[in-house]
Structure 1
Amino acid sequence: MDACVVHGAGDLRVEEQAAVEPGAGQVAVRIAYGGICGTDLHYYRDGGVGNFRVQEPLVLGHEVAGWVSAGELPAGTPVGIHPATPCGECPECLQDRRNICAFSNYLGSAARVPHIQGGFVRELILPADQVRVLPAGLELRRAVLAEPLSVAIHAVRRAGDGAVAGKRVLVTGAGPIGLLVVAALRRAGAREVIATDLHETPLALAKQVGATATIDARATDWPDEIDIAIEASGTAGGLRTSVERVRRGGTVVQVGSLPPGDTGFPGALLMTRELTLTGAFRFDHEFDTAIEWLAGGLYVDPIVTHTFPLAEAVAAFELASDRTVASKVLLEVNAEPPP
C-alpha cells in the first residue's frame, strides 16, 4: 500500500509500505483524507520540528479520517482518529492533562526512535480507543478538521473557563489554526474577534469564518481594550504584538509553535500590566467537542482550499507552503470505502 514518507529535508516520496493486519484491541482504518499541518511542512522543508529530527523514513500525517476496514468495528464505519496515545501513568495523565504527557506517542512524529509513523497511508492500524465513530451526516472531508479544530478549542479554553464570552479577542496569524481559533471563539461567545496576518488571502478567509474585523499585521492603528490575545502565528512578532496590545490585566495564549531557542518579547509588560501568559499544546477531550461542533454545522468549510490525490503529495506540500494562495490543503488518500 502507498504512503507519503519523508526521508529528510526536501525529500518527500510516495512509496509502498508493507500491509499490516490489526491485532487484539486494534482497528484498521482506510484513510479517506489527511490534512497537511504546519508540522508536516517543517518535516518536509527542514527535516525536523525543533529538536525532533528525521532519522529514519517517517510516514507523515496526524489529521486523518476514514472508514473502518477491519477490527472491532463494522467495516465501512466512518471514523475520526485521535492522534495521541498518552502513557496513562505519569503525573500529568493522572491529573487529566494527557495532552502534555511526556511519554505520549503522536502520529507522524520524530520525537522518538523508532519514529511514530503517521496517517498519510492507504490503511492505518491503531488502538481502538483512538477511533471515534462519526455522527450521521458528518462528511469525512469536514471531519478531517477535527484534529486542528481541537487545537483551537484547547487554546480558547486555556484563556480561562468561559473567559472569552462577551470579550474582544485578538488572533495573531490567520493560518489554518488561527482561522479555526476564530471560528471557535465565535462559537464560545466572543463579542468581537480581530484577526491579523500579513497576507490578503488568510484575512479574507478569517472574515468568512467569523472575524468581526481584520488587520494587516504591519498596521499602526489598532483598537483599544483588547481583552485576550491568542497568538497563532508562531512568530516572535506575533507574540510581541499580543503582549503589547492586550489591556492591563489581560491574557495572552501562545498556541503557535515558536522556533526553538530564545524568543524576544517585551517581558517587562507582563509585570507592569499584570498580564497572564500561558501556553496551549495539542488537546485531549476537545477532540470529541470538535466532532460535535463540526456535526452541528460550525462554519469552517472555507478553510479547506485545495485537495490533491496522494500520488501528488509533493505538489500538495509545495502549495501548502504558499500562504498567499492556500490555507488547509488535503490529501485524498482513498476515494472509496472498503467493500
Structure 2
Amino acid sequence: MHGIRVALLQMGSATKANLCDRAGISFPTVSKMVSRMEKSGEVFAAGLDESSGGRRAQRYVYNPEYMLGLSVFLEKNETVYTVFNCLGEVKEHGSCKSFLQDGKGALMAWTQEVLERFPKISGAAFGVPGSVEKGRIFFIPDYEGFQNLDLQGIFEERFGIPAVVENDMNAAVLGYHDRSGKGMDHSAAYIYTGENGPGAGLLVNGNVVRGSTFFAGEVSFVPLYDECSFLQAMQQEKDRKGIVNLKAISRLIASLAAIINPHEIILNHKEFHVSQIPVLIKESTKYVPKEHLPELALSDWREDYLHGLQYLALKRILRS
C-alpha cells in the first residue's frame, strides 16, 4: 500500500487509473487495495472525476488523520517532541525534561503516556546527540545509560510500532534539505557547535553520508591544528572569550569544501550572526580558492532537526 499512500498524499486526490500510473500497480490490485483502505477509513471517496466521454471515475483522497507520527529529540537540557498527521500538520508540540541522564526507563514511560493520549501514532523517530547504527546508539559521550543501546529495538518490542533512531545532525541536514526544497543533486553540510559538542551532518547528492562505521560527521575529532582537535580549539576560544571560534569554523569550512565540495554549508542562526558570514568567507579563502567555497546559509537548527525526524517517521509510517 506504500505506493498508493504516497501517490494520494502527493497528488491530493486520484482515480484508480491515476494510481495505477503513478504507483506502477495493476488495476485489479489497486482496486482491491483502495477498497480495503476505504473500508478501514484510510481513504475517502471524493466525488466523481470530470467526464471524458465514458463513465465518470471515482476520485479518492487520503485521510491524513488515519495514522499519526511522533518525532522526539533528546538534548542535554530538554526533550522536544511533535505529534503530527500524514500531511505534516502538528497535533501537539512541546518539551519536557531531558531523559539523557535518567536513562531508557524514564524515556519509555514518558513515551507510553504520549501513545496513550494519541493511540493513532503508527511510527516514531528519535534523534540523539550520538552515533547510530541501525537503531543502536554506539557513541554518545557523557550519557552512559544510552551507550550501546538498541533504542529502536527496545521501542518496537515494547510498543509494536515501527521506529527510526537517527543522529541529530543527520536529521538536521535532512530536514533542512526537505524544508528548503533542494533537488536530489544537492550537497550540503550542516555545522552545529551544540550543547553536547560540535557535530556536522553531511548530505551528498540528496543522501545522508553516514560512513562505513556510521561515524561520519563527528568533526570534534578533526585535527585542524598541530596540538589540538577542532573540539579543543572551540573550547579554548569559548573559555577565553565566551564566543565561537570563527577561525576554527573557517578551517572546518575550508576542509569540507576540499573534501566533499558541497553546494552549501548551513549554520545555526542562534550560534552565528549574518554579520559573521563575510568573516568566515574571508578566513576560509586563506585555505581554499573563493570560487570553490560553498554558499553559507543560516537556518533554525531546532526546526530543521524536528522536520528531519518528522520526515523519517513519516517514511516509516507509510511503509508500515
TM-score, normalised relative to structure 1? 0.33
Give the number of the structure with larger relative contact order, counting CA–CA contacts within 8 Å between residues 6 or more apart: 1
TM-score, normalised relative to structure 2? 0.34
Q: Which has the larger radius of gyration?
A: 2
Q: Where is the strand percentage greater, Structure 1 or Structure 2?
A: 1
